[in-house]
Amino acid sequence: MAVALIVIASMFPIGRLSQRKAQYLAVASSVAHDRIEIFRATKFDNIMVSTTSTTDARLPDGNTVTTEVAYFPTPADRELKQVKVVVQWPGGAVSWLGGRVERETLIAKH
């Protein structure tokens, strides 16, 4: 009986960590999705080809939110832009808590 209690008690920290990882994934997915939607709502000619990097306070310290906008498939093509958002965060002492979410879309000139 005591062994069973020890085993069950030791499982709870793993459950909490798994829950935290799921929360980070949800936040990162939301951040990436929101960034993509901003570009989709922007007029094509107002979308600047660039790479920017920021952080998000809802993710662990050391996170990066990188947004890259490029002509697609090559810089010579000017009718289509690719928007790529990569959200990364470190796991700290528990390396598997770290993660990465990547979203991308193509935006056509109308």
Comparing 25 with 8, which gets the higher pLDDT? 25
Q: What CATH number does residue 60 fall under? A: 3.30.1300
**Number of independent structural domains in the chain:** 1
- pLDDT recorded at residue 15: 77
**What pLDDT digit, counting tens, does each position of 13-62 carry?**
777 888 999 999 999 999 999 999 999 999 999 999 999 999 999 999 99
How far CA 17 is from CA of 8, 44, 86, in Å, comes to 15, 42, 23
Nearest partner of 45 among 9, 27, 63, 71, judged by Cα: 71
The partner residues of 85 in beta bridges, in order of sequence, read 67, 103
Range of the domain at 78: 2-108
- pLDDT recorded at residue 47: 97
